[in-house]
Structure 1
Amino acid sequence: MGNKLSIFTEDQLEAYQDCTFFTRKEILRIFRRFREISPQRVPVNMRDGKSRRVKIPFTELELISELRENPFRERICQVFSEDGSGDMSFDDFLDMFSVFSEIAPRDIKCVYAFKIYDFDGDNHLSRYDLQQTLRCLTRNGLTEEEISFVVDKVLEEADLDDDGLLSYIEFEHVISRSPDFLNTFHIRI
């Protein structure tokens, strides 16, 4: 118990449990993982607001095994970092792992998937967002003509109001028909 208290206060641990899908033991394991990334930057004691103030830069985060091969690693870090920079505090890091945990519900995963694919942050998936998503998914393996063809097909199928954009509701409808979504939208720690 003393080890838990030396890192976080009892109130912090309770708040983390209330706001995530993790147990105390899992929270402490995720903290150890966070600290391993940059031990010179992350103190052992995260009381007194340090869990929000101490940040690891994106350039270090993108190298961790859980993100390194993910084509969306930059967008993921931007979406989960409080200021959108991609640099993460422990609170941001814990939130990311909570959303990507296997026990997080589909609706929460869907909200964050939409944010990740919304590259321009306008709360719609436009042609630009869909093109960027395809470039990431295929690691720039498609020609511009192929990307345009796929985007046209996606909009034809999913853009129910024909406004040339996918709203969150339209995106959620597509995801609800995708049985693999929950299996692919997770990160194990």
Structure 2
Amino acid sequence: MGSRASSLLREEEIEDIKKETGFSHSQITRLYSRFTSLDKGENGTLSREDFQRIPELAINPLGDRIINAFFPEKSTEAVAGLILGAYQECHALHSLFSEDQVNFRGFMRTLAHFRPIEDSDKNKDPRVPEPLNSRNNKLLFAFRLYDLDKDDKISREELLQVLRMMVGVNISDEQLGSIADRTIQEADQDGDSSISFTEFQKVLEKVDVEQKMSIRFLH
């Protein structure tokens, strides 16, 4: 499987992914080998079912939320662009509307949020977009795990749902409600009884997010 992976990944694709994600050449080729081993249909994409077969995600209480992060919704602008002829090739149409499939580049973009921050990341040219593994992007990734309805706010009910996923039946609903109420009371600065991303950032400003949201990838 590894030889198949390296033979199908073109050098120009590797270079593009390096620039976009910050992964090294060897990390990309080895992660591609892992990607193809998960690709049971051998069609160059992964389904939700493929991710659910990963043992670490299967036992993670937030596994489904993490899997969802690999399948971002297609933007209205992208759909409009396609309809207006911005994309001409048939595979672009298939890619745009395959909401339950993710290709290798999308796979790597999501993994890049968990790449440890290095000195080279901190010295990026301010004129270019911040790296996917920046503190801000790591926080945004975490925020979206809680923002179930994607309205850019974490409500009390959303916080309760995620807490239930995390603790199961080990804590009573009354205790969970108390935790949710206290969390929102401490974080909510504008009085709307929910947590915005800015408020989320403020609450976690002293937390070592870079360390907690980092995975040591293959070298």
Would the TM-score normalized by the shorter structure come out above 0.5?
yes
Deviations 1:118-174 (A, max 9, x none): 111111001121112211221342221111100110011111111101010000111
User: Structure 2: 5+ residue runs without aligned partners?
Assistant: 75-98, 118-132
SS in structure 2 of the partner of residue 162 of structure 1: coil
For 1:166, the equivalent position in structure 2 comes to: 195
For 1:157, the equivalent position in structure 2 comes to: 186
The answer to whether the 8 Å contact 2:159/2:180 transfers is yes
TM-score, normalised with respect to structure 2: 0.71
How many matched pairs? Answer: 176
For 2:38, the equivalent position in structure 1 comes to: 37
User: Structure 1: 5+ residue runs without aligned partners?
Assistant: 44-53
What fraction of aligned residue pairs are identical, expressed as a percent?
27
The answer to whether the 8 Å contact 2:5/2:33 transfers is no
For 1:50, the equivalent position in structure 2 comes to: none
Whichever residue aligns with residue 14 of structure 1, its letter is E
Distance 1:4 1:134, change over 3 A: closer
Name the larger-Rg structure.
2
Q: 1:61 and 2:61 equivalent?
A: no
The answer to whether the 8 Å contact 2:146/2:162 transfers is yes
Distance 1:74 1:188, change over 3 A: farther
Distance 1:133 1:3, change over 3 A: closer
Whichever residue aligns with residue 92 of structure 1, its letter is G
- The equivalences for 1:2-13 within 5 A come to 6-13=7-14
Distance 1:13 1:74, change over 3 A: same
For 2:148, the equivalent position in structure 1 comes to: 119
**Backbone CA RMSD of aligned residues:** 2.4
For 1:132, the equivalent position in structure 2 comes to: 161
Residues in 1 aligned to 2:59 and 2:214: alpha-carbon distance in whole angstroms: 13
